[in-house]
Each structure stands twice: as C-alpha cells, then as structure tokens.
Amino acid sequence: MRTIFVALTTLIAAVSAAPQYEGSCPVVGAMECQGTGFITCDNSGWVYRDCGPGTTCYKLDNGGVYCGYPARELV
C-alpha cells in the first residue's frame, strides 16, 4: 500500500509541475510549438509535451508540428 501511495504522490507532483496553459483551445487536435516542446488541444484544454533532447519544434503547413534536429550550416 505504501508503494502505491508513493507512486501516486510522485505522479501528482509531476503533473502539478508541468507547464499550464490557460484558456480554452480552438479545435480539438490543434497543435502549436511552445518553448522546448509543443502544446496540443484536447477536450479539457492545452496539454504540453516536451521535444526530445537536442530537438526543436517545427510547425507544418497542414497545422501539425514535429520535433526535429535543427539544420546545420554547411561549412
């Protein structure tokens, strides 16, 4: 029982530490680059997801986003 309590407490702390985005979102499934990741509109509002280490969020023409490595300058 103690293990479940510790796991639940850890989960609550992680969720409350996650960035929060206020306001309703326009369309379920809409995505925008934000900080080091991106936000997705779901039924309860915006949900933040971080891009992987070393990657950056890029917006697609169709409204989606993806995380990729920045283009390197050719020398």
Average of per-residue pLDDT across 39-43 = 90
Boundaries of every domain in the chain: 21-75
The predicted pLDDT at position 33 comes to 95
The predicted pLDDT at position 40 comes to 92
The predicted pLDDT at position 21 comes to 61
Taking the C-alpha atoms of residue 69 and residue 50, their distance in angstroms, rounded to an integer, is: 14
> Residue 22: helix, strand or coil by DSSP?
coil
Query: What are the residues whose beta carbons fall under 8 Å from the beta carbon of 16, sequence distance 6 or more?
Result: none
Between residues 3 and 12, the one the model is more confident about = 3
> Do residues 55 and 71 make contact, with C-beta atoms less than 8 angstroms apart?
no
Reported pTM: 0.61
